[in-house]
Protein backbone atom coordinates (compact mmCIF):
# COMPACT_ATOMS: atom_id res chain seq x y z
CA UNK A 1 0.00 0.00 0.00
CA UNK A 2 1.33 3.44 -0.97
CA UNK A 3 0.29 6.50 1.00
CA UNK A 4 0.57 9.82 -0.82
CA UNK A 5 0.32 13.00 1.29
CA UNK A 6 0.53 16.51 -0.15
CA UNK A 7 0.37 19.73 1.87
CA UNK A 8 0.04 23.22 0.44
CA UNK A 9 0.07 26.82 1.50
CA UNK A 10 -2.14 28.95 -0.71
CA UNK A 11 -1.75 32.51 -1.88
CA UNK A 12 -3.92 35.25 -0.38
CA UNK A 13 -5.39 36.04 -3.80
CA UNK A 14 -4.84 34.24 -7.10
CA UNK A 15 -6.76 33.34 -10.25
CA UNK A 16 -9.36 35.95 -9.29
CA UNK A 17 -10.15 34.14 -6.02
CA UNK A 18 -9.75 35.00 -2.35
CA UNK A 19 -7.84 32.69 -0.02
CA UNK A 20 -11.07 31.12 1.24
CA UNK A 21 -12.35 30.60 -2.30
CA UNK A 22 -9.04 29.02 -3.32
CA UNK A 23 -9.23 26.54 -0.44
CA UNK A 24 -12.81 25.58 -1.29
CA UNK A 25 -12.03 25.25 -5.01
CA UNK A 26 -9.00 23.07 -4.27
CA UNK A 27 -11.03 20.90 -1.90
CA UNK A 28 -13.77 20.39 -4.48
CA UNK A 29 -11.39 19.68 -7.35
CA UNK A 30 -9.29 17.23 -5.33
CA UNK A 31 -12.30 15.40 -3.90
CA UNK A 32 -13.76 15.30 -7.41
CA UNK A 33 -10.97 12.91 -8.43
CA UNK A 34 -12.67 10.18 -6.38
CA UNK A 35 -14.44 7.88 -8.81
CA UNK A 36 -12.68 9.33 -11.85
CA UNK A 37 -9.31 7.62 -11.43
CA UNK A 38 -9.67 3.89 -10.73
CA UNK A 39 -6.24 3.60 -9.09
CA UNK A 40 -7.35 5.70 -6.10
CA UNK A 41 -8.14 3.46 -3.14
CA UNK A 42 -8.84 6.28 -0.69
CA UNK A 43 -8.66 10.03 -1.04
CA UNK A 44 -9.48 12.68 1.54
CA UNK A 45 -8.85 16.40 1.76
CA UNK A 46 -8.61 18.54 4.88
CA UNK A 47 -8.55 22.31 5.25
CA UNK A 48 -6.52 23.42 8.27
CA UNK A 49 -8.65 24.79 11.09
CA UNK A 50 -5.71 26.00 13.20
CA UNK A 51 -3.55 28.31 11.06
CA UNK A 52 -0.09 29.27 12.21
CA UNK A 53 3.36 30.22 11.00
CA UNK A 54 4.40 26.60 10.53
CA UNK A 55 1.05 25.22 9.35
CA UNK A 56 -0.06 24.23 5.89
CA UNK A 57 -3.47 25.39 4.65
CA UNK A 58 -4.77 22.23 3.00
CA UNK A 59 -3.76 18.57 2.80
CA UNK A 60 -4.48 15.65 0.47
CA UNK A 61 -4.17 12.11 1.83
CA UNK A 62 -4.58 9.25 -0.62
CA UNK A 63 -3.67 5.59 -0.96
CA UNK A 64 -2.77 3.38 -3.92
CA UNK A 65 -2.05 -0.32 -4.34
CA UNK A 66 1.53 0.19 -5.54
CA UNK A 67 3.99 2.69 -7.03
CA UNK A 68 2.71 2.08 -10.57
CA UNK A 69 -0.84 2.96 -9.48
CA UNK A 70 0.47 6.21 -7.96
CA UNK A 71 2.25 7.03 -11.22
CA UNK A 72 -0.89 6.29 -13.25
CA UNK A 73 -2.84 8.64 -10.96
CA UNK A 74 -0.18 11.35 -11.25
CA UNK A 75 -0.23 11.16 -15.06
CA UNK A 76 -4.02 10.93 -15.41
CA UNK A 77 -5.57 13.86 -17.38
CA UNK A 78 -8.12 14.62 -14.63
CA UNK A 79 -5.32 14.84 -12.07
CA UNK A 80 -3.23 16.98 -14.41
CA UNK A 81 -6.16 19.43 -14.75
CA UNK A 82 -6.19 19.82 -10.95
CA UNK A 83 -2.39 20.22 -10.94
CA UNK A 84 -2.69 23.07 -13.47
CA UNK A 85 -5.15 24.96 -11.24
CA UNK A 86 -3.24 24.28 -8.03
CA UNK A 87 0.00 25.52 -9.59
CA UNK A 88 -1.58 28.95 -10.04
CA UNK A 89 -2.86 29.34 -6.48
CA UNK A 90 -0.27 27.86 -4.13
CA UNK A 91 2.87 29.36 -2.67
CA UNK A 92 4.32 26.16 -1.18
CA UNK A 93 3.96 22.41 -1.68
CA UNK A 94 5.30 19.48 0.35
CA UNK A 95 4.93 15.78 -0.47
CA UNK A 96 5.48 12.54 1.43
CA UNK A 97 5.09 9.16 -0.29
CA UNK A 98 5.67 5.93 1.62
CA UNK A 99 4.97 2.23 1.43
CA UNK A 100 3.41 0.36 4.32
pLDDT digits (tens, 9 = 90+) for 51-91: 899 999 999 999 999 999 999 999 999 999 999 999 999 99
Look at residue 39 in the predicted model and tell me its pLDDT. 98
Q: Which domain holds residue 67?
A: 2-99
Look at residue 21 in the predicted model and tell me its pLDDT. 98
pTM: 0.94
Count up the domains in the chain and report the number. Answer: 1
Look at residue 34 in the predicted model and tell me its pLDDT. 96
Q: Distance between CA atoms of 37 and 33, rounded to whole angstroms? A: 6
- What's the CATH code of the domain at 58? 3.30.70.100
Q: Distance between CA atoms of 98 and 80, rounded to whole angstroms? A: 21
Amino acid sequence: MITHIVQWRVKENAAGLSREEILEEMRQRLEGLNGKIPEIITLSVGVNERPGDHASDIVLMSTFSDWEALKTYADHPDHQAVVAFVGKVVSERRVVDFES
